[in-house]
Each structure stands twice: as structure tokens, then as C-alpha cells.
Amino acid sequence: MFEKVIAQEKAKKILSEQIRNNKIPHAYIFVGESGTGKMMTAIEFAKILNCEINDYTKSNFGPCNHCSSCEHIQNKTFPDLHIINFEKQDEIVEKDYEKGKAKLGIKLIRYMQEKVYIKSTNAKWKIFIIEPAEKMTIEAFNCLLKTLEEPPDNTIIILIAKHKETIPVTICSRVQTVFFQPLKNEEVQAYLQNKHFMPKNTAENIAQISDGSIEKAETLMLNTQNEYSTLWKELTLKKLPIVDILLKSKSVSTSRDKALETVSIITENATKSFRQNPLKYVNIIERLLESKKYLEKNANPTNVLDNLFLYINSKI
Ligand SMILES: [Zn+2]
């Protein structure tokens, strides 16, 4: 039912059962570190409830992902899906000094309440997602409390927060808590390999320092890719002094894994260049594949990369 959400079996089970039994609370708080799938779950939840094809009251199936509701919710253009966040706050306040605030204020919650009590267009459910809920001011929380005490029908408010302790008890006692756990390293690794086609070694290295967060893993992935595409550009743009090439090689051959990761990502860059100019890059690609084999056969990483980088730069 929540196929797009990675892991989080407990959270999925709670929500799926409530959907299946048609016993859906009017408010939730999704609690967990960033990058654990809270927002994605909220969006999938909104799709399941509003899908025009798959009726959750009759079937166990998830959203169809193709009807107008599913598409609009995915693109966040659905008229009855409201994301209440800093971006929205800056959009609705009129004066410049009210923009860029560090807290979500009462004006934003009043704006939300207007939308809560306006009759829905034709959606089955109106969904409000407040993120990051812990950034609300005390006045904003008190204002929200009124809505939680008298919730209108077919309206769901989802608060998204990193820690429950940052939310007043009066709010927590009126909402259903759903916890999101940090992902396991293997789960992050599988995501990077399947979604981003990342080589196994690199995915494994990034997963180990991602703290179980997809968001952090994707940021690390971009940094790694930028680092290597800079290295590739440097090696292929102009002839470099030999000593500079050897220094670059040394910095990325500190271990066999690092050397293999370097060769894998440089191969991706080389493949892109090969498509534009096959004749120029064919030998480099062959040399990259050979280097990978040597590394896998326990050759000394620094020697392999010294030779590889000198070869690449000599072909420019
Ligand atoms: Zn649909």
C-alpha cells in the first residue's frame, strides 16, 4: 500500500489498518529524523484517500498513481492538499519583515484554519501537512489546538516533527503518533543502487555514513559525484604536471574501496564523454575496465591509479 516508502513497516502497518478499517483519526504526528520517509508517507496517504480509481473502502490496493487526484497530489497541486511550511508562510505574509522568520507563526495557522473550514472542492479528504511542526510558536500551537478540538469531517491534519518532546503535550494527546525509524545501512544502500544506479562499493560507503537518512545519503551522493566529476574534468581538460597527477592519485587511493569507488564513478563520467566522442575515449574506457580488474585482483591501489591517471592525462 505504501510501496514508494522505504522500510518503516510499523508505520505502514498502523496506517494501512486504519485505512482498511475505515477508522482514520483526524490528526497525526509523524515523528522521526529527516530523510526517513515522513513526508513521502503523508503524500502517499493523501493519494490513497483521494484516488479516483482505487477505492480504499472497498479494496486493499494503494493509489493508482495515474488519475487526476493522484497526479495533482504527487505534484502538490491538488486544491485540497495544503502543505503548511516556511514557504507557505512567506507566501501569505504581506510585509517584507514578516518573511524569512525562524518560526511558524499564528498567521500561518489562521490561514490554515480558513482553509480547514471552507467547503472542500470535490475531494474525498482534505489533507493538511504541517512541517516542521516543532518550529511553531506557542501562539500557533494554541491556535491549532482549537481545530484539533473541533475537527471538521473528512479533514486530516498531519504534523511532521523530528522529536515528539518538542510538541506540547496538549497537542500530542489529541493526535495519533506514528514513529519513523532511521533506515538500516542495507536499506539505504539498496535504495542508492536501485534508484540511482550507484555502484555497490560507493553505495555501501555512503550508506554507512548516512545515519539512516535518505536525505543525507542523497546529499552525500551529490557531493561525491561532484568531487569525481571535478577530478575527471581536471584529468581530461589539459595536460597536468606529473606531480599534480600523482598527488590526485594518492588522495583517492588511500584504500582499495576508495580506489574502486573512484574508478567506478570516473567510468560513468568517461562513458558520457565516450557517447559524444567515441574515438577519443574508447582507449580510456578500456583502461578503466582493466584498472578495475587489477584492483579486484589485489594490485596496489596507488600504483593502479598512478598509471591510470597518467594514461588518461596523456591522451588529452
Ligand atoms: Zn489515483
Distance (Å) from CA 268 to ligand 1 centroid: 37
The domain segmentation of the chain, as residue ranges, is 9-179, 185-314
Edge-to-edge order in the sheet of strand 155-161? 81-84, 126-130, 155-161, 27-31, 176-179
Rounded to whole angstroms, the Cα distance separating 139 from 88 reads: 18
Encode the chain (316 residues) as per-residue pLDDT tens digits. 888 899 999 999 999 999 988 899 999 999 999 999 999 999 999 999 999 998 887 766 789 999 999 999 999 999 999 999 999 999 998 888 888 899 999 999 999 999 999 877 778 899 999 999 999 999 999 999 999 998 888 999 999 999 999 999 999 999 999 999 999 999 999 999 998 888 788 899 899 999 999 999 999 999 888 888 899 999 998 899 999 999 999 999 998 888 998 998 899 899 999 999 999 999 999 999 999 999 999 899 999 999 999 999 998 8
Q: Give helix 185-196 / helix 214-237 axis angle, nearest 10°.
A: 50
Rounded to whole angstroms, the Cα distance separating 14 from 176 reads: 10
The enclosing H or E element of 235 equals: helix 214-237
**Is cis: bond before 151, omega within 30 of 0?**
no
The answer to pTM > 0.85 is no
Which residues, by Cβ under 5 Å, contact ligand 1, an ion?
51, 53, 63-64, 67, 70
Read off the pLDDT of residues 39-70 as tens digits, 9 standing for 90 and up: 999 999 999 999 999 888 776 678 999 999 99
Rounded to whole angstroms, the Cα distance separating 147 from 15 reads: 22
Fold of the CATH domain 9-179: Rossmann fold (3.40.50)
Read off the pLDDT of residues 166-196 as tens digits, 9 standing for 90 and up: 999 999 999 999 999 999 999 999 999 998 8
Distance (Å) from CA 291 to ligand 1 centroid: 49
Distance (Å) from CA 65 to ligand 1 centroid: 5
Rounded to whole angstroms, the Cα distance separating 174 from 155 reads: 14
